[in-house]
Amino acid sequence: MSLANKSALPKVIELKNKIANITKKGYAFGHQDTTSYGIGWRNDAINYQSDVYAVTGDFPLVFGFDIGQIEHGSPQNLDGVPFDEMKMLIQKAHLDGGIITISWHADNPVSQGDSWDTTPAVKHIFKKGNYHDIFKNWLRKVADFLLSLKDDKGELIPIAFRPFHEMNGFWFWWGNPNCSPAEYIALWKYTFHLLSDEFKVSNLLFIYSPNMIGNTKEYLLNYPGDEYVDMLGLDMYQHGSIKKFKSALKTNIDILKEVGIGKNMPYALTEVGLEKVEVANWWTEVLDEVLVKSGVSWALLWRNHTTGHFYVPYPNQKSAADFITFKNKSHVLFLKDIKL
């Protein structure tokens, strides 16, 4: 396996191999902001916790974080997680053998609105564009943060970086109706170039991750090329019936798998979930039924924000018992399983 950034550290290729090798045993479980907060608690720098741990006695193997607002030099991200705390949680997860993945809900560089402000912006961020300096300065802040993620020996922590995700959806300023595929590809390449060449960020593995698609062509519509990508992702949430979701998830995973095998790249379900998990056996009868033997490296569930917006059970939640059954399956890998 190779890497897009030829100057990336050997640790990044080790991470890529580790991600690919997970599939020999099954797939990893991931959770966004798992140690930052959960239902009824926030990280207090004393107790290291997670709703996943509270229910199962183990942490996820994949730890998701988001650096939205780092571009402004803000002390905390868009969901109120202080960046200095995030850094410590990343160090701890890495020390324990976890895989770190980072997304970036970047603000709109033109309107200064949030990621969901769809004012056309992409075409203005390139050299000679009116917003080029702003964008480049934002990327410098992103680079500074990523280069500050170091382990206890002072060595950089490898990160699976997932910028400008769900680009085929209408909701982000980098999404297709708000920029063309050609503009998106240019955005990706320019971001890659700034981070890798200009700011010398050497600890990143780049993940391309569209939202749910209908066919391979759609999956690859915004693909910047194998020289700019290390791994393939896909985001997909259940909004309708179980039956419809399972069938669509299966189709989507088949596409992801076909592209992944063709490109010899690991692939993962970079976001998945059913908000509030009101289906008691969702873990074993919906998610695992589709993912078992699918070849995905991981499935990352989104954040546990409030009782109205969460994706992983907390103690006594309706799907908690099934979540334990799911966790105990030998092919579903949590943090302790990597030590086996």
> Where along the sequence are the contacts to ligand BMA (CB under 6 A)?
66, 78-79, 105, 302-303
Between 78 and 292, whose beta carbon lies closer to ligand BMA? 78
The Cα–Cα gap between 210 and 167 comes to: 6
- Taking the least distance from each CB to ligand BMA, the nearer of 230 and 271 is 271
Nearer CB in complex with ligand BMA: 77/222: 77
State which residue, 302 or 323, has the beta carbon closest to ligand BMA: 302
- Least Å distance, CB 302 to ligand BMA, is 6
Q: What are the C-alpha distances in Å from 45 to residues 41, 85, 96?
A: 12, 8, 17
- Cα 147 to Cα 197: distance, rounded to the nearest angstrom: 13
Three-state SS for 294?
Answer: coil
CB of 237 to ligand BMA, least distance (A): 9
Question: What's the min distance (Å) between Cβ of 84 and ligand BMA?
Answer: 18
Q: How far is the CB of 141 from ligand BMA (least distance, A)?
A: 18
Find the shortest distance in angstroms from Cβ 91 to ligand BMA. 21
Cβ 105 to ligand BMA shortest distance, Å: 5
What is the nearest approach in angstroms of ligand BMA to the Cβ of residue 66?
Answer: 5
Tell me whether residue 57 or residue 116 sits nearer to ligand BMA (CB atom): 116
21's CB contacts (< 8 A; 6+ apart) are none
CB atoms within 10 A of CB 272: 25
Smaller CB separation from ligand BMA, 66 or 183 = 66
Query: Is the Cβ of residue 33 or residue 183 nearer to ligand BMA in the bound state?
Result: 33
Q: Which is nearer to ligand BMA, 126 or 237 (CB)?
A: 237
**From its phi and psi, is residue 25 left (phi > 0), alpha (psi between -120 and 50) or beta?**
alpha
Q: How far apart are CA 107 and CA 329, in angstroms?
A: 40
Give me the long-range contacts of 85-92 (CB less than 8 A, separation at least 24): 85/36, 85/43, 85/45, 86/36, 87/148, 87/149, 88/45, 89/35, 89/36, 89/43, 89/63, 89/65, 90/63, 90/65, 90/149, 90/157, 91/149, 91/150, 91/151, 91/152, 91/157, 92/35, 92/48
Among 268, 69, 68, CA closest to 163 = 68
Residue of 96, 227, 106 whose CA lies nearest to 175: 106
CB of 90 to ligand BMA, least distance (A): 16
